[in-house]
Structures are given as C-alpha cells and as structure tokens.
Amino acid sequence: MHSNLEGNIGAGNTSGFGLYLDDTRFLSVFELKVNGRPPLLLSSVADRDYMAHIELTNVDVWEGDTLLIPQETLSIRRVRSIKNALYERIRVKNYNGFETLVELEISVAADFLHMFEVRGQRPARKGKHLMPKTTESGVKLAYLGGDNVFRESTVEFSIPPDEIIVGLDKTTAKLSAVVSPGGEFEVDLKVIPSGSVETDGATFTLDQVKEELSASYSEWETQSARVTTDNELFNKVLERGMKDLRALSRPHAESPPLAETSPDEPVGSPPRPRALHSAVKGLRCTLCSSPWRQRQAEKATRQTSGLFTSAAALHDMMLNGIESGTSLARNRLPNSLLRPHPHTAEGVEDRGRPDLGGLSGDTDCLKAA
C-alpha cells in the first residue's frame, strides 16, 4: 500500500500510489472526505511497516452563512494494516459541546494496471473494466485483463453504507451518524484483492491482524542478526532496511534465500553479504510515503552503497587468504575497499569515497552485536 501522508490515493496520481498484489494495482483511488471536505493533516506515522496511524481534523463546515462545525473540533483517526488485504479503521470523535452530524465519504476505484504500466509502459493487450457491483456491505470492482484473467477488488464496510454512488471513474460510499458531545463514530473497512488468502474463506479483523503481525515482527527481529556501528544515522539505515526486508518477505516453499552462494562455491561456504545490501536498497515506506522520505531513502542508499561493496570485497579477500598482500590492521578497512561500486556512485564526491558522515576513509569495521 502506497499513499500520501493523509492516507489518500488521489485519482490520476503520477506517484505510483495504490494497493498492489503480485505487481498489479488493485486500488488506484482511495479518498476520504468528512462532511464534504478533505480533512486537515495533523500527523502521519508508519514506522512499523505493517501499520500506519494518521491523525486528521476537520475544516470549517458551513451551511449558507451558518457555521455548523468549527474547524478542529472533530478528531479524525485512520489506523490501517495489511495482511493479505487492507484493513482500515476510521474513527471520528466529537469535541463540540453539541450533537454533530458526521458524514463520511469514501471513494474507491481500481485500474488493475501492472506495475510497468503504472510506470508508463504500454500494455500489449488492453483489458476491459467492468461496472462495479454493490453488495449489502460494500462494492466489488472488477476487470477482465488482456490476458483473459478476471481480477476483482472487494470493498467491505463494517456498517452498511447509507448510499453507494457507482461510476467507472470512482465509486463513493456515504456513511453518517449523529455523534453526541464527546462521542465517537467508528467504521471499519476492508479491501480484498482477488487471489489473496482472504478470498479463500479466511476472515480477519483489524485487531486480529495487528496482534498477529506484531508477534511476527517481534519474532523476526529476535531471530535476525544485528549489526551496529558508532554512527547513529547508519544504524537507523540498517534498522530500517531490516524492517523492510520483513515487509517484503512472503512465505513460500520455493522462495530463494536472502544471502546467495555462488554455484562454484562448495556447499557450506559462508553466504556473501548481500542481505544487508538488499536491506539498504529496499528502503521504502510500505504504508505511507512522501517525496521527502523518498529523497532521504535515496540519499542514504547512495551514501551506504560503497560500504556494502567494500564488505563484499573484504569477504572475498578474507576467503582468498588475502593473497594480494594488502595489509589489514585489526578492525580497520583500507581506503581501497571504501570506494563505491561504479553503478552506485551517483552523487558521491570526486575523491571517490561515499560521504558516510564519519565513516569515510580508514575507519572501524562494522561490529556484530
């Protein structure tokens, strides 16, 4: 799931926002309005890859010259998680001293584009979008692809919508409630792509998904190797990368290992240090992103790519008994090993070393905790 900081996926966005499964976008529009207006962003946090917390508030709501709901008197919280489907809870709390009519509008659409089409590539054969079908609890968005594969996104609400306005460009569900002073209006929704485990009959709630994923991530972090340095920024890059590896992993009997061994190496040879390199290259925010965070991730990747190239070179030299005669002081790396890989040297200073904020030149090796 890739959205803006408000948690929305705007129609016609060019940033690749959407809900993806098997490289196909099953949700291309996902917008929330409160009393007909987009809410204001207060904060957006997705430090845990499987969950996002988004805090919003309302703008002034007028009816003619009458102010019905003053700005910042409704607390709007969006909590979402992903496990085979997208789960979201929208909670609106009324801080006014009077009863308030809260109207939610949730618009959805699915273009079912392949990831390469999202990036601009033209499809060999175009498919056909089918008219959305309403159900008692939501709507089904369907598509018959040029490959004759039927794909579908099922949107379900915990409360039957008051009204569903169907259209090919987008479908809007409207839900409303009169909220007493200090009271709350809460709606859960679920977006299930065809082919996910959910379509096989298994059903979950947001609370169940949060509990299961929290335990799974804790187990992953406990069993994973840990690497620490004396550079705080670099430690955060490693930690972020390890979390992303867990988010990108999908249990499968034939899944290749993260660390690779060359076919020419004997069985039992130490794996090459590529898992950490993948961890850095995999920097991304699964649930909520922004151009600033993307630029920070790209910068961190450029700054650290040379070090991981050096780690691979050092690994090879150690296995070969350092026959080249290069001298290695204890816990030190020679300058020659700190030069970035030629394909990842973009943005690196002319002196040929990545700017690692205190880790350039002859420096201490990474220390395993």
Q: Phi and psi for 282 in degrees, rounded to 5?
A: -90, 15
pLDDT averaged over every residue in the chain: 75
Cα dihedral 215, 217, 222, 223 sign: positive
Four-way CATH pick for 19-207: 2.70.98.40, 2.102.10.10, 3.30.1450.10, 3.40.50.970: 2.70.98.40
Contacts (Cβ under 8 Å, ≥6 apart) of 275: 245, 258, 259
Tens of pLDDT, residue by residue over 93-146, are 999 999 999 999 999 999 999 988 898 888 778 889 999 999 989 999 999 988
Residue 56 parent element (H or E):
strand 51-57
Q: What is the pLDDT of residue 313?
A: 52
Q: What is the pLDDT of residue 297?
A: 56
Q: How far apart are the first and last CA of the chain?
A: 33
Tens of pLDDT, residue by residue over 143-182, are 998 888 899 999 999 999 999 999 879 999 999 999 999 9
Q: Are 285 and 293 in contact (CB under 8 A)?
A: yes
SS3 string of 210-278? HHHHHHHHHHHHHHCCCEECCCHHHHHHHHHHHHHHHHHCCCCCCCCCCCCCCCCCCCCCCCCCCHHHH
Query: Identity (one letter) of the amino acid at 136?
Result: E
- For residue 67 the two structure tokens come to 């102010």
Q: Tell which wins on pLDDT, 61 or 348.
A: 61
Highest mean pLDDT among 3-12, 223-232, 263-272, 309-318: 3-12
Q: How far apart are CA 34 and CA 60, in angstroms?
A: 11
Q: Tell which wins on pLDDT, 64 or 255.
A: 64
* pLDDT at residue 245 greater than cutoff 60: yes
Domain assignments of the chain as residue spans, ordered by start: 19-207, 223-368
Q: Phi and psi for 229 in degrees, rounded to 5?
A: -130, 180
Farthest-apart Cα atoms in the chain, separation: 84
Q: How far apart are CA 336 and CA 352, in angstroms?
A: 10
Q: How far apart are CA 66 and CA 63, in angstroms?
A: 5
Axis crossing angle, helix 291-319 with helix 232-248, rounded to the nearest 10: 90
Q: Tell which wins on pLDDT, 41 or 235.
A: 41
Tens of pLDDT, residue by residue over 218-231, are 888 888 888 889 99
pTM of the predicted protein model: 0.66
Mean pLDDT across 319-324: 45
Q: Are 10 and 29 in contact (CB under 8 A)?
A: yes
